[in-house]
Chains A and B, each alone.
Chain A
Amino acid sequence: MKTRILENFTVVFAWLAGLVLLSGVSLLLGYLFFKGHASLNLSLIFGDTPPLQALLLKQRVFEGLFPAVAGTFVLVVLSIAWAIPFGIATGIYLAEYAGPRVKRVLDALFDVLSGMPSIVIGLFGFSFAVFLHKHYSDRIGPCLLISSIALSFLVLPYIIRTTQAALEGIPLNIRLTALALGATRLQNIFLVLIPRSVSGIMSGIILAIGRCAEDTAVIMLTGAVASAGLPRSLFSQYEALPFFIYYISSQYADSEELMQGYGASIVLLFLCALLFVTAYGIRKGLSHFVFYRP
């Protein structure tokens, strides 16, 4: 009967663990919404400024999250713009051109990069900015440009991996048909293989966007500040949502600011959940090896 006890114990243990995890997460989210739902309205984002005026950049927003949201938006667009061409080209190379030996070396390098703590990448970006500042121009310091480049390093492995996996998953008969009809290798890639793996590549890009929007460690070393207004140029400092949340948690002055922190958390959470669900909808069954983020 000893084995019977073990089996029963396993069942109880499993349900208990599931319950603990679920209650932990619902506590986390429930607390956030319970405390922060009151702050969810338009003035959370725009303060006292009329939304249209703020969106058209006619009036500055002082009390709202608008600069932080705009900063995050610009940051994400820039980093993704850097990462996409390199990521996709590298993915194509790995899947279609690389020989087994080269592939093993490159695979190992990208595995290391994808496991890299984001603070290390942030530190790299920061010291790179300092390096440029000393040797080239006094105008360059930690700024939007440096942040977006560092973030693009962070998400590059995601795009490479999803592109590579999508291409490698194409069955052999489709792979060979166009070639047998006389298409060149490049034609085969761009006219047959890439169109078939667009959904995979897209989901990788969306995950990368989510990662960019979410990451705090990189941007806090490379130029995000608590109050900068809207980002004015590539070489200016900027505000960002995750940094704002971090800043509020340690520096809030009154309950109003704290409420703003709750509001910002909910906004960020919704944004990330939305991106995640989109990526998931685009391609079901994506391995979470892609989701793995240190």
Chain B
Amino acid sequence: MKKIGELVAERTFLLSALASSSITVAILAFMVFMGLPLMKQAGFYQLLVKPWAPYQGSFGIYPMIVGTGCISFLSLVVAFPLSLGCSFLIATIAPKPVSKGLRRLIELMTGIPTVIYGFVGIFLLVPYIRELFRSGSGLCVLTAALVLGIMITPTMTLFFCDSFDRIPRSYLTAAEALGASRTQKLLYVILPCAKKGMLNGVILALGRAVGDTLVALMLAGNSVRVPGSVLEPARTLTAHIALVIAADYESPEFRSIFACGVVLYLFTMMVTFLVRYLSFAEGRRD
């Protein structure tokens, strides 16, 4: 027989768990509810592929989707080799004290506020890019992607290191017993074993790049056009939300940000479930 107190406590815990988890659902519900008028009027799919032309009554978010895609992809291109190299350094190549120190430092770097990346980016990198390529204002896809790349590198590196750490000790000892050098161990044992975990890291870093607002908002120039090259400005989904929010509550322009919200939400969900599936598959293999 349970005491009343026990039961009450259990119910309280259950209720708070339900309340917290309902937030996830509530956010999607709200987003869809608020965006519904526009989605009904234009069709959700149509919104995704149409250009943004408020004066012709078209509020498609296609340019923002392309902008987000370009900037995130480019930032991955910057971050992937950097993270790979750094995680190699930490895993085997660097001597023990250096690798420990580097890891601490990279962990600390995940705590640098995004707004500071943006702030320094504006005053340091933007003038430099402007001088270097002599085109436009320097606020462009390339600038945003570079800063974003540096910003997501620590996260990605730590995930890589994590997947290296999960490799069974016995594999490594076996390689050592066969006379493998540190680099050989890395290339022929650790790397092939850790592939899935690394894929996870890349996906999560991509999620972070897509979800970031401040860097893109401050550095990408925010023009609503499909960027023709990396030196042209672009607007991301996140920046679009931040920029349009000042407008009138009832206008279709305002409604379009909920379509952006839904897209971002669905993307987050996809990333989460993909990562869960991959780690589940990885767990089953062991």
Q: What residues of chain A have their CB less than 8 Å away from a CB belonging to chain B?
A: 6-7, 10-11, 13-18, 20-22, 24-25, 27-28, 31-32, 35, 85-87, 89-90, 92-94, 96-98, 105-106, 108-113, 115-124, 126-128, 130, 153, 156, 160, 184-186, 210, 213-214, 216-217, 220-221, 242, 245-246, 248-250, 261, 265, 268-269, 272-273, 275-277, 280, 287-288, 291-294
For A27, list chain B residues within 8 Å (CB): 124
Shortest Cβ-Cβ A-B pairs, 8 listed: A17-B85, A117-B211, A294-B211, A276-B111, A93-B13, A89-B16, A14-B88, A214-B113
Contacts A123-B241, A127-B34 hold; do A14 and B119 have CB atoms under 8 A apart?
no
- Name the A residues within 8 Å of B86 (CB-CB): 14, 17-18, 21
**Cβ-defined contact, B261 with A110, below 8 A:** no
User: B40 → chain A, closest Cβ, in Å?
Assistant: 17
Q: Is the CB of B241 within 8 A of A20?
A: no
B20 proximal to A (CB < 8 A):
yes
**Cβ of A19 to closest chain B Cβ, rounded Å:** 9
Q: Is there an interface contact between B20 and A87, defined as CB atoms closer than 8 Å?
A: yes
A-side contacts of B81, CB under 8 Å? 13, 17
| Alpha-carbon distance between A261 and B116 when the two chains are bound, in angstroms | 10
Q: Are B3 and A269 in contact, with the CB atoms below 8 A? A: no
Task: Evaluate contact between B85 and A16: CB separation under 8 angstroms.
Answer: yes
Interface class of chain B by DSSP: helix
Number of interface residues of B (CB under 8 A): 90
> A273 touching B111 by the CB < 8 A rule?
yes
Chain A: CB-nearest residue to B121: A28
Contact pick for B20, options A28, A90, A185, CB 8 Å: A90
Q: Inside 8 A of B23's CB, which chain A residues have their CB?
A: 113, 153, 156
B112 contact from A117, A272, A292, Cβ within 8 A: A272
The answer on a CB contact under 8 Å between B212 and A294 is yes
Indicate whether B89 reaches chain A with its CB closer than 8 angstroms.
Answer: yes
State in angstroms the CA–CA spacing of A10 and B184 once bound together: 10
In the docked arrangement, what's the CA distance between A86 and B21, Å? 10
CB-CB under 8 A from B102, the residues of chain A are 18
27 CB < 8 A contacts A-B: A10-B88, A14-B85, A17-B84, A17-B88, A20-B85, A21-B106, A89-B17, A93-B13, A109-B24, A110-B20, A113-B21, A115-B211, A115-B271, A116-B265, A120-B241, A123-B245, A123-B258, A160-B20, A210-B111, A216-B213, A245-B116, A245-B119, A246-B217, A265-B116, A265-B119, A275-B111, A294-B212
Question: Which residue on A lies nearest to B158, using beta carbons?
Answer: A288
Within 8 Å by CB of B208, from A17, A108, A293, lies A293
Contact indicator A250/B158 (Cβ below 8 Å): no
Please give, as numbers and ranges, the residues of chain B lying within 8 Å of A21 by CB-CB distance. Answer: 82, 85-86, 106, 150, 153, 157
Q: How far is the CA of A116 from the CA of B268 in the complex (A)?
A: 6
Could you mark each residue 201-220 of chain B with 1 if its beta carbon is under 8 Å from any beta carbon of chain A, else 0?
00010011011111001100
Task: Note all chain B residues with C-beta closer than 8 A to A120.
Answer: 27, 31, 211, 241, 261, 264-265, 268
Q: How far is the CB of A263 from chain B (nearest CB, A)?
A: 11
Give the CA-CA distance A269 to B108 in the complex, in Å: 11
Point out the residues of chain A lying under 8 angstroms from B124, CB to CB.
27-28, 31
A246 touches B276 (CB 8 A): no
Query: A254 CA to B117 CA in the complex, in Å?
Result: 21
Determine the residue in chain A with the shortest Cβ distance to B111: A276
Chain A residues positioned under 8 Å from B286 (CB to CB): none
User: How close is A196's CB to chain B, nearest CB, in angstroms?
Assistant: 18
Picked from A97, A275, A288, the residue with its CB within 8 Å of the CB of B107 is A288
| B214–A98 touching, CB < 8 Å | no
* CB <8 Å contact, A112 and B24: yes
Q: From known contacts A110-B20, A116-B265, infer whether A126 and B116 are also in contact, taking CB-CB under 8 Å.
A: no
- Considering residues A17, A21, A128, A275, which has the most beta carbons from chain B within 10 angstroms of its beta carbon? A21
B114 at the A interface (CB under 8 A): yes
Q: A89-B16, A117-B211, A184-B6 are in contact. Are A214 and B114 (CB under 8 A)?
A: yes
CB distance A292 to B31 under 8 Å?
Answer: no
Asked if residues A90 and B17 are in contact (CB atoms below 8 Å), the reply is yes
Contacts of A220 in B (CB 8 A): 242
